[in-house]
A and B are shown apart, each in its own frame.
Chain A
Amino acid sequence: MTDTHPNGSPGAREAHGGGHGETSFLWKYVFSQDHKVIGIQYGITGLCFLFFGFTLMMLMRWQLAYPNQPLPWPWLAELLGNIRAPGGVLEAGFYNQLGAMHGTIMVFLGVVPIAVGAFGNYVVPLQIGAPDMAFPKLNMASYWVYFCGGVIMLASFFVPGGAASSGWTSYPPLSNIATQGQTWWLVGMVFLITSSLLGSVNFIVTIVQMRAPGLSMFRLPFFVWAQLVTAFLLLLAFPPLEAAGVLQLMDRVFGTSFFLPSGLVVNAIPYAQTTGYSGGGSALLWQHLFWFLAHPEVYVLILPAMGIVAEIVANNTRKPLWGYRLLVYAAIFLGFMSFIVWAHHMFMTGMGTVMSTFFQTTTMIISIPSVIILTCMILSLWGGSIRFSIPMLFALAFLPMFAIGGLTGLPLGLTLSDLHLHDTYYVIGHFHYVVAPGTIMALFAGIYYWYPKVTGRKMSGLLGHLHFWPTLILMNSIFMPMFFMGMAGLNRRMYDQTVYVHGRGVQPLSLMVSWSAWMLAVAQIPFIINFFKSWKAGEKVNDNPWEATTLEWAAPSPPPHGNFTTLPEVHRGPYEYSVPGQSGDFCPQHARPDSASEGTPSAPPVPAAH
């Protein structure tokens, strides 16, 4: 036992959770408290939701490419039923449900759970040399609360009136007067918020308290820093959305008027006459509360992706990251600034000049750390010895894709240019470039990179290439045309854009987007095959197949319960590659200085001396 280990000795009295030692399937794989199992649970569930959200969008793309024409397959129309697709043509209300749920599912049930729940859970404790997360039971609860939230969201499709249909932003009064699905959405969100709250407390405590001896904050891999900042964003930005959700639930269930101003007239009848509502609320209050969360949420989506890319770039250039400290400071600054830019989503709501000046200034300021992070990553390529492994390809693709996403944010952050582009397809193109070819590419990179750690096997390179190249090209042919559609003035969330002459003008682009999206689905087949086939039949590799320096590679693959055969001790920074005067081209964080200089850095970790 390692009870005598300097790290574990004083406090480590309780071997956590009775469930841990048990071997029954239920406790080992379903209600597991092991961060690795929970990470995999998050990952698989998140990938399923990602695919489901993508399916919703593919349905929408049919209506956008071929407005008011019946779906191509009769069985599909039959599956959707006569209410959702009368005569095989998607109904406008159902289209809005698809739109709202696509956004909600992709952000809250797909990308964040994979980026934070899966990668954060699996990798962070390994990278800091901890046996598990600080609160394993909370960790398990966090997953199951998330799972319940997801089930509620899915179930809402089947309630009368269907799922929420007021966009993922749920602006009132529209969402207030919407059908029952909106209440389900709000309850689902309360679950998801609770889950991320439990998760974020756990992450912060784990990273602050449980680092291996010698692992100072500035020896942490950048991925851990990114997760730490992300956890703070989740911890502090989500509660205002929870508050907003509570207020909207009050409005919908108890008939209050938090978001309903006086004097509403719905369907030409005074709303007070039909509902007896009191009025006196503010429609914009929701937007303030919502965007106070949802802007930091953007960085929740992107920071873990940057962390993954940083790990992979350092490993595959075989040299230290350029400007590690600068990256860390930029990430912290980014996190801080993300709390004071929210109203740039609301430039068109009639805010005063002082407000708009403040928010466009902070928005320009927040672009600087993003530029710094990107520049650091690109400069890191200089002087390297670049391996074009599959994870590296995805990580490299992330850089220009994120650059496009970030740069197209500039005209939206300035009120004057936002005037023409606000609420158009330009916005859709902008944030999808950040999240889809950006974050999702980084998530793929992470899957290919850490797959050997999780399974002890590598994913196939050929299938990897078959996945990467079409995905990269198609992602661009989906989202690039959107900038031009937005430039033409085409507004988002249009059921049938051919109503407008400018919509008809860009209809060919819409067709291109739709076909690219459907082909993108086909392009994921190699990934799905690769993902499942390699689990059992992939090439077996050793514990450190990428010859990486960070601590997760010091553990066996897959890591056993408790992670490390011996708790590692850290002697140096995270990216000590190609250190001059050494025979190997990498020097793991846990390798003892003398053994490293002897040129055996890839030897198994030496047990801590006692």
Chain B
Amino acid sequence: MDPVKFGYWFPADVSTHGPSVDLLIDYVHYLAVALFVGWGIFMLYCLIRFRQRPGHKAQYELPHFKGSKYAEVAVALIELVLLLGFSIPVWASIRYELPRTDAPDKVVVRCIAEQFAWYFWYPGPDGEFEPASADRIKPSNPLGLRDPSRDAVSKDEFHFPVNRPIVVYVTSRDVIHGFNIPLMRVKHDAVPGLNIPIWFQATKTNDEIFAAMSPERLRIGPALVGRKEPYIAMEAVKAADGSDLLKSGDTFVFGEALVKGLTGAGVQELSVKLKFPVELACAQLCGNGHSGMRAAVSIDTEEQFAAFIAGKMAK
């Protein structure tokens, strides 16, 4: 499915547990629609048949309806099935049956949220997380690690390998944030003082999703200045003076100069693709920068992931 098609029903899903979530949502909506249509038809029928008109009189005593009781019992039973058959067991499995500690292929990441950024903290080759302390925090060592060169830390860009269980310890160091990847049906609050593990597993790589998505037409305006996410241009744009502003296939970030150039060239809409089409959003109101608290998610192949970690370690 095209992941950029939003607003119809579900967006595409690239996680292993996502289908069961979507299935339950579908089932609940079948139940809801059936009930609503049933009620609606009955109501409309009553409104027409029993409308006030000359010669028509209301009945004081009604025949005993059994139907409503059956309907209510049926609703209760269906809810019971959804509850016992889906919600409770599947929830338990996706939330609490964490991959065993000795599972060889799992990846453990710590996610630390703050106003208004996401930090992803990967252990170095030793597989251990460095001790951290708030007193050591400075721009070059945002997490206050004892030895920042021994671990990999990534800000606002979340990389993990495909087809492997990913365990993320989610926490926050100021207010409550919400760790949410809609395309993976992943959501959990990042609560200060709590370090809560969640896990998931992706089924598609970033490159596959990128290839499947269709370009979007982005409105050019001053609001784009300051957006950190990289885009890939799907069309070439020439500046007013005839020089190349963007070539098709260019990776770029909207900056003041580029937006000015585009506006100067009279471009109102630009055909682009997000370089990382999977997004991580903040789901809990966390302050004035809440809606900008966005991280890119890159689902990597093994090689890409290894290269990413190596690149972060080198810094």
Q: Residues on A close to B: CB < 8 A?
A: 67-68, 92-93, 96, 99, 165-167, 171-174, 177, 261-271, 282-284, 317-320, 322, 348-350, 352-353, 356-357, 360-361, 364, 367-368, 371-372, 374-375, 378-379, 381-388, 396, 399-400, 403-404, 407-408, 410-411, 414-417, 419-424, 484-485, 487-502, 504-506, 508-509, 577-580, 585
Contacts and interface: CB of A to CB of B under 8 A. Distances in A.
B285 A167 contact: yes
A420 B182 contact: yes
A482 to B, nearest CB: 11
B246 interface: no
A388 to B, nearest CB: 7
A283 B142 contact: no
Nearest to A169: B285
Interface string B181-217: 0110111110111101000000000000000000010
B298 interface: no
Contacts of B39: 374-375, 378, 399-400, 403
Interface in B36-57: 36, 39-40, 42-43, 46-47, 50-52, 56-57
B240 interface: no
Nearest to A421: B25
Given A353-B92, A487-B10, A578-B57, A410 B79 contact: yes
Among A361, A381, A492, A501, the most chain B Cβ lie within 10 Å of the Cβ of A501
Contacts of A372: 72
B50 A384 contact: yes
A488 B65 contact: no
In the A-B complex, the 5 residue pairs with the smallest Cβ-Cβ separation, listed nearest first, are: A261-B193, A489-B182, A505-B6, A381-B46, A407-B32
A411 B11 contact: no
Interface stretch (B98-106, B155-163, B220-228): B220-228
Nearest to A178: B287
A162 to B, nearest CB: 11
Given A92-B289, A400-B39, A577-B58, A385 B52 contact: yes
B290 A494 contact: yes
B281 A414 contact: no
B29 A349 contact: no
23 contacts: A68-B223, A96-B287, A173-B175, A177-B174, A264-B174, A269-B137, A319-B60, A353-B95, A364-B83, A368-B76, A372-B72, A384-B46, A385-B57, A386-B46, A387-B52, A400-B39, A403-B36, A407-B32, A419-B21, A422-B283, A495-B292, A501-B274, A506-B7
Nearest to A510: B7
Interface in B218-270: 218, 221-223, 227
Given A263-B134, A283-B193, A382-B50, A580 B60 contact: yes
Interface in B153-185: 173-176, 178, 180, 182-183, 185
Interface string B125-139: 000000000110110
Given A264-B173, A371-B72, A423-B284, A411 B25 contact: yes
B36 A420 contact: no
B306 interface: no
A167 B25 CA distance: 27
A501 B20 CA distance: 24
A315 to B, nearest CB: 11
A386 B47 contact: yes
Contacts of A421: 25
A173 B285 CA distance: 11
Contacts of A378: 39, 42-43, 46
B65 A379 contact: yes
Interface of B: 4-11, 20-22, 24-25, 28-29, 31-32, 35-36, 39-40, 42-43, 46-47, 50-52, 56-62, 65, 68, 71-72, 75-76, 79-80, 82-83, 86-88, 90-92, 94-96, 114-115, 134-135, 137-138, 142, 173-176, 178, 180, 182-183, 185-189, 191-194, 196, 216, 218, 221-223, 227, 274, 277, 279, 281-292, 294
A501 B216 contact: yes
A400 B178 contact: no
A500 B62 CA distance: 56
Nearest to B65: A379
Nearest to A284: B191
Nearest to B35: A407
A495 B8 CA distance: 22
Nearest to B73: A368
B87 A414 contact: yes
A495 B79 contact: no
B193 A388 contact: no
Contacts of B286: 174
Contacts of A271: 174
A480 to B, nearest CB: 12
B58 A385 contact: yes
A375 B28 contact: no
A493 B285 contact: yes
B61 to A, nearest CB: 8
A326 to B, nearest CB: 10
A400 B65 CA distance: 21
A420 B227 CA distance: 26
Nearest to A272: B134
Contacts of A497: 291
Contacts of A167: 285
A270 B138 CA distance: 11
B201 to A, nearest CB: 15
A261 B192 contact: yes
Contact of B58 (A174, A265, A578): A578
A500 B294 contact: yes
Contacts of B10: 420, 487-488
Contacts of B292: 495-496, 499
Contact of A419 (B8, B29, B185): B185
Contact of A578 (B59, B76, B185, B196): B59
B76 to A, nearest CB: 6
B11 A484 contact: no
